[in-house]
């Protein structure tokens, strides 16, 4: 598999020589998944950070009534995982599944730790990802508290411009925290 998309993503933050690129790529596993295939179930331990080469994944939580709360969509070029579970190696709270057929590059927690020691600049790269993830999570939490559903939908469109035609209204509604019926009425008002 071609690792160019991931290496281009990394190159935005750190510079790697050819040897470092090869050593990094040796730690990666290629995984192809089919639409609706789960990569992680609630209560499972997340053992891999996942980079989406093609397709789209999502992470979500189900409440006791079966209502989905979508935490993240991960289109091409994005990372996804249950960070709580990946870091602690404890059972997680999220489901991760494929919304389309997808190709992924995985790096295990074990290999990530080895990579940090072998090529310390990866500490910086993954710290940047973690910081951006934290900022995004904080912004989204504040948006959910202070913005109307219409404003949250607008933020969704800005955050995921390539997904508005790919996703169902049900999935978008679960992300912005409204029912599909409410979203439909809001969009057609």
Domain CATH for 49? 2.60.120.10
Give dist(CA 185, CA 187) in Å, integer.
Answer: 6
13 within some domain: yes
Tens digit of pLDDT at every position of the chain (189 positions): 679 999 999 999 999 999 999 999 999 999 999 999 999 999 999 999 999 999 999 999 999 988 889 999 999 999 999 999 999 999 999 999 999 999 999 999 999 999 999 999 999 999 999 999 999 989 989 998 999 999 999 999 998 888 988 899 999 999 999 999 999 999 887
27 within some domain: yes
Among 21, 18, 47, 44, CA closest to 111: 47
- Tell me what pLDDT residue 1 has: 62
Domain of residue 34 covers 4-119
- Tell me what pLDDT residue 61 has: 94
150 within some domain: no
Among 59, 60, 76, CA closest to 68: 60
- Tell me what pLDDT residue 188 has: 86
- Tell me what pLDDT residue 149 has: 93
Among 169, 150, 168, CA closest to 99: 168
- Tell me what pLDDT residue 187 has: 86
Q: How many domains does the chain have?
A: 1
- Tell me what pLDDT residue 138 has: 93
124 within some domain: no
């Amino acid at each position: 598999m071609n690792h160019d998309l991931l290496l281009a993503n990394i190159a935005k933050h750190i510079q790697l020589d050819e040897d470092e690129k090869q050593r990094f790529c040796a730690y990666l596993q290629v995984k192809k998944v089919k639409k609706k295939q789960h990569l992680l179930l609630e209560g499972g331990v997340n053992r891999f950070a996942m980079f989406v080469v093609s397709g789209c994944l999502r992470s979500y939580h189900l409440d006791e009534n079966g209502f989905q709360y979508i935490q993240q969509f991960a289109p091409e070029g994005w990372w996804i995982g249950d960070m709580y579970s990946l870091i602690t190696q404890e059972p997680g709270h999220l489901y991760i599944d494929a919304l389309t057929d997808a190709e992924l590059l995985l790096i295990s927690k074990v290999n990530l730790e080895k990579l940090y020691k072998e090529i310390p600049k990866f500490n910086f790269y993954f710290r940047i990802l973690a910081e951006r993830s934290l900022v995004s999570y904080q912004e989204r939490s504040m948006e959910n508290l202070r913005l109307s559903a219409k404003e949250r939908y607008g933020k969704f469109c800005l955050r995921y411009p390539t997904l508005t035609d790919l996703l169902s209204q049900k999935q978008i509604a679960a992300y912005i925290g409204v029912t599909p019926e409410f979203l439909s009425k809001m969009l057609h008002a």
